Amino acid sequence: MKKILEGKELGFGTAPLGNMFRSITDEEALATVDAAWEQGIRHFDTAPVYGAGLAEIRLGEILSKRPRDEYVLATKVGRVILDELEDPASRDMGEKGDLFKYGRENKIEIDYSEDGTLRAIERSLKYLQTDRLDIVYVHDIAQDIYGDEWVSKFETSRTGAFRVLDRLRDEGVIKAWGIGVNRVEPIEIAMDLDEVRPDAFLLAGRYSLLDHDRALQRLMPKAAKENIDIIVGGPYSSGVLVGGAHFEYQKASPEIVAKVDRIKAIADRHNISVKAAALQFALANPAVASVIPGASRPARIAEDVAALNEKIPSAFWQEIREQKLVAPDAPLPE
């Protein structure tokens, strides 16, 4: 799997292109994808639920004009976008709330079966204007979306989506598959399965400067040992690390804001950006193959690339560790 993402340590998470939190114009969205390409980004991650197909459509509009062999394209299954319409505000997104209320009004059908997986892939290929996908994740089979029902959704996926994706990978139709979630537990269970062999996991929000303790207990060491790649989503913790108001898709608590302020104060003392610290912290873990921050403005892409290449003095990481702002066992950049 690392070969697939070799040289693509910085990817582009396209949730904001689905009008997450706010409505953006097609022009702004397409300019952002163009900027990502021009800045050398060749790993693009999307999902049907991002605006009920809106992010996939916008991404496909630009990438369909680029050489297909030059980039890695990842999307997700578990939800099928229908032609029938519904009120986006009526959707139950669990702890994520109504973050895509400004997206398209197409009805979203939840289906983690084999048939649902194949239908989701077919629709994604249409929206993305492509004939193939590189990585496919089973999306959101976790507590934050389904509460106590998440285990039954996982079991449906195990006998449905997991098996068909495993087969498609073995047949060469896709290059890799895994699950994409905002919680550690589903990944830990999936890693222990015998009947299927996931290649990679997209972990959003659980391996950031603000939140990484749980992932370090078992998941990250096991992934590194077994050569299973972790792709880190949400490295800026829904934006609160880089000046935004959200943490975990909700308004950040005073405690989180205070922790961010402490990190920022140390970063200011060492004359570095928090964005650089966030990206480089995630990539310092040997299990991490790529990090995929989101963006909805072209200028943000240039900032991400600059942050990835920014020189951070070891004294910054030493102070972060001494102030107990990162876990004692968290790998730090050298």
| Catalytically annotated residues | 45, 50, 76
* CA neighbor of 139 nearest in space, from 122, 162, 106, 123: 162
- Rounded distance between C-alpha atoms, residue 54 and residue 68, angstroms: 20
Q: Would you say 274 and 267 are in contact if contact means Cβ atoms under 8 Å apart?
A: yes
Cα(304)–Cα(237) distance, integer angstroms: 15
